[in-house]
Amino acid sequence: MSLPPLPETNTKRYWLSYHVKSSVHHCQMRVSDDFTDTDAIDALTALAVAIQPLWHSDAGADGVLVADNGSNVRNPVSGFTPVVGTLGGTTSDINIPFETTWSGRARSGRKWDLGIFGLNYTLTTSWRITALSGTGLDTIRAIFVDTANAFLTIAGDKPIFNNWANFSYNDHWVKAERVS
């Protein structure tokens, strides 16, 4: 089913700003227009706290940005308390571009995904973890499912979240590092 493209600015968006060593990243959370800054701080703090045990101490969440529906301008949101990883040691350089991605699809056919860099997780024989229960990754997925009016698709609808997470090196990030 071919879906017409929608503008990037189609919904209100919040970003969790975080770092892995000296690399700064942002993960995006699409929300309904009535989602408040306080709601976003609560949701993204819960996400950062759920990620915290999977991040080494040189990784953590630093702040929140917002852009209103129809706007490309990102503004800082006050009130976020930084969250630092609690896993001992530091992130190996080879794992800086290692990304964990959750995905889903709405009934409308729109896809959804969210990726986080720097999580320390022992892979088994596959790039996909299909049994999230008890891994800490299930807690993160539950935040996506349970937070009303947040973690929406570009069309503004709530996806059905897959019960797995994928792990891989982000080729766009690696390529940008190689040419810089």
112, two tokens: 């959804």
- Residues 10-61 pLDDT 10s: 999 999 999 999 999 999 999 999 999 999 999 999 999 999 999 999 999 9
Q: What is the pLDDT of residue 175?
A: 64
Looking from the CA of 41 toward its CB, the CA atoms found within 13 Å total 10
Is residue 88 within 8 Å of residue 57, measured between CB atoms? yes
First-last CA distance in the chain: 38
Q: Where are the domains of the chain?
A: 12-179
| pTM for the full predicted model | 0.92
CA-closest candidate to residue 47, choices 118, 148, 137, 113:
137
Distance (Å) of CA 161 to CA 25, 38, 81? 23, 24, 28
How far apart (Å, rounded) are the C-alpha atoms in residues 95 and 92?
5
**pLDDT for residue 172:** 67
List the chain residues with pLDDT less than 70: 1, 123-125, 131, 171-180
Residue 53 is encoded by which pair of tokens? 């045990």
- Over residues 10-22, the pLDDT tens digits come to 999 999 999 999 9
Residue-level pLDDT at 135: 75
Encoded tokens for 122: 């022992």
Instruction: Return the pLDDT at 173.
Output: 63
